[in-house]
Chains A and B, each alone.
Chain A
Amino acid sequence: MMRHFLEVFRGAEIVCIPSSSCVAMIRDHYPKMAAASGDAALKRTVKNMLPRIFEFTELLVDQLGVTDVGAFFPHVVALHPSCHSLRSLQLGDKPARLLAGVRGLTLVDLPEAEECCGFGGTFAVKNADVSAAMLSDKIRCVLNSGAEICAAVDNSCLMHIGGALSRQRCGVRVLHLAEILASRDSKGMAS
């Protein structure tokens, strides 16, 4: 799959990935996997590819210098800083700065924001009971924040958190940061 990825994106100047766990996989694991393969050409390809890989907010804030994309989204939003964005990519306040640039948006603090939501890939199924307990803590914090929307830069966490919010019929939804940044007012303009 790594070889396939490298082949597909070989010609791309920039690869923008709206998921920090995917970026972390490429940055942290591809070099090791390539080294373990003993294939010198593969190692070179990975090395050449890495500087062209950007997480969505890295591309906007660091590369393009943009924090205001002209979005309009009149809702109360809490940001879940996913584990990979926080600890692996160390995105810091990039997602929050992008949200701060959105007209009409109120950003509220998410209590215990840095705690894992309990997804963890196969963990959610293999250790379903512990995962559900972690998720219930996260949901409690989302509901206590008073937000209408829980946003993140990782769809995997959002699927997990969103799955529980949907089950509880509490009216709070999840959205990827990109979906919020793509929102405009009814005239298609930022007000």
Chain B
Amino acid sequence: MSTYVGDAANAPKFQTAAKALVNDTQVRHNVRHATSVIRQKRAKVVGEMADWEQLRESGHEIKQHVMRHLDFYLDQFEKTCTAAGGQVHWARDADEANSIIVGLVKAQQAKEVIKVKTMTSDEIRLNAALEAAGITPYETDLADLIVQLGEDKPSHIVVPALHRNRMEIRRIFLDKMNLPELSDTPEDLAAAARVYLREKFLRVPVAISGANFAIAETGSVCVVESEGNGRMCVSLPRVLISLIGIEKVIPTFQDLEVYLQTLPRSATGERMNPYNSIWTGITPDDGPQEFHVVLLDNGRTKVLADREARETLDCIRCGACLNACPVYRQTGGHAYGSVYGGPIGAILTPQLQSMAHSQTLPYASSLCGACYEVCPVKINIPEILVHLRNTVVERGDAPFVEKMAMKAAAYVLESPEHLARARKFGRMAQSPFAKNGVISHLPGGLDAWTAVRDLPAIPEESFREWWLKREREAG
């Protein structure tokens, strides 16, 4: 049994992956364009809400309350869901969740499953586990389908194929769907996906979904989406399995009134999702006749235990922080080495792995604060990033050069005398490099700065020196 987040434990450092992506002008262009479109739509529909800040605050408060009483609400959800005819399974980690789900599919003697978009299933590498057991998973969310057919990885938690443009998607569909010809217009691409998927909706007997919300009061599960393919999956097959992270539980049905306003506006810039599916257990002769919920921990209770960072679990996966993030917008999601990219991924991925992996992620931010500003549940991501950086340093995992540099900086800034001496030394040391008041090339690791920018040289007279002279002259 083990806890993991996709392949994040083996992913390269953020800066290594980012270097390649920043140089991929096609990816950069696609990500920039897509995030700009969503941002504009979001700004418009958020702007028309007079009570947006109160909605954010409510969303935050409800989640804070849930996290304080998570044991109670999970227990309540198990009872209500079971009473409605569902079967609830508890999975401590990714391996356990996979073996439960594979077991459930095998019990149906099914060789295929259809899937609703679920990032959590990517977190536990469910598709690989199913394939290893001889079961073929079909992604039915259009973007997930593009990622699956392209043997690619998701680059955004809401729009997983946002790094692809329609010319690239046409190529993938042509190759993988064995089509004689296909144009790259959105209508034709959607039509091709429809033909490909509809046959599977009607044939495959088991569906796997994630959840946006699990309602403790009623035992209901809620999934919101844009395409209706999710609705097909949760209503047509005989058996439905929902994989749900334990942080997705909310107390009451009425709490949805907050999130069903903030989530679609934040995620896709829509006032309401085109499809809002909410189901409670099973209904005789209507929809799936067998319903399983797999409640997943996989590191979440460890996040909950850290008072300073537990807000991380409040996330409703809207992706607004990704679209707002100037770092994410340069690299796309692949640089983060995890199914969870962008600012939320930078705090969630390392924590789910108990800070043992992905330690460069808390540094993948300029701490500009744009993520916090747009977050519909007010997760203070910059503050948690700093907290996690402290954790990396406290564990002694910071690079040697950085530790030395920080020590030197602390010494220099400790007293005016130290600073004055450092300035004097700096003026001497910079003389081979400084020209016309700027330094254009620095040796060693410092060339990371001077590769694209000059550095102002230390001036002949500092502010402090000028000030003292001025006072002396004034007598």
Which residues of chain A have a CB within 8 Å of any CB of chain B?
1, 4, 83-84, 86-88, 114-116, 118-137, 159-160, 162-164, 166-167
A132 to B22, CA, bound (A): 10
Contact across chains for B367 and A130 when beta carbons are under 8 A apart: no
Cross-chain contact B455 with A128 (CB below 8 angstroms): no
A-B contacts, 6 listed (Cβ < 8 Å): A121-B366, A124-B449, A125-B446, A159-B456, A164-B454, A167-B440
Q: Is A133 a contact of B22 with CB atoms below 8 Å?
A: yes
Given known pairs A115-B326, A130-B330, A130-B331, the reply for A125 and B449 (CB within 8 Å) is: yes
Question: B217: shortest Cβ distance to chain A, in Å?
Answer: 36
Q: Which of B368, B370, B438, B440 lies in contact with A120, CB distance below 8 A? A: B368
- Residues of chain B whose beta carbon lies under 8 Å from any beta carbon of chain A: 14-15, 18-19, 22-23, 28, 326-327, 330-331, 363-370, 372-373, 402, 410, 413-415, 438, 440, 445-446, 448-449, 451-456
In contact, A128 and B366 (Cβ under 8 angstroms): no
7 pairs of A and B residues whose beta carbons are closest in the complex:
A120-B366, A163-B453, A116-B368, A128-B448, A87-B369, A83-B368, A166-B454
Is A123 within 8 A of B438, CB to CB?
Answer: no
Cβ–Cβ < 8 Å partners of B331 in chain A: 130
Cβ distance B145 to chain A, nearest Cβ, rounded Å = 30
Give Cα A189–Cα B331 distance, bound, in whole angstroms: 50
Q: Output the nearest chain A residue to B36 by Cβ-Cβ distance.
A: A112
A166 to B366, CA, bound (A): 22
Task: Establish whether residues A130 and B22, one from each chain, have CB atoms under 8 Å apart when the complex forms.
Answer: yes
Chain A interface secondary structure, helix, strand, loop or mixed?
helix
15 other contacts beyond A83-B369, A116-B370, A129-B22, with CB at 8 A cut-off? A87-B373, A116-B366, A118-B326, A125-B445, A125-B449, A127-B18, A129-B19, A130-B330, A131-B366, A132-B451, A132-B453, A134-B330, A136-B452, A160-B453, A164-B453
Find the residue from B331, B364, B369 having the highest chain A CB count within 10 A: B369
Q: Using Cβ atoms and an 8 Å threshold, which residues of chain A touch B366? A: 83, 116, 118-121, 123, 131, 134
Quote the shortest CB–CB distance from B32 to chain A (angstroms): 9
Q: Which residues of A contact B453 (CB under 8 A)?
A: 132, 135, 160, 163-164, 166-167
User: A130 near B327 (CB under 8 angstroms)?
Assistant: yes
**Known A87-B370, A87-B372, A116-B370; contact A167-B452, beta-carbon cutoff 8 A:** yes
Nearest CB in chain B: distance from A26 CB, A: 15
Is B456's CB under 8 angstroms from A126's CB? no
- Once bound together, how far apart are the Cα atoms of A1 and B438, in whole Å? 29
Taking A134-B330, A164-B453 as contacts, is the C-beta distance between A123 and B363 under 8 angstroms?
yes
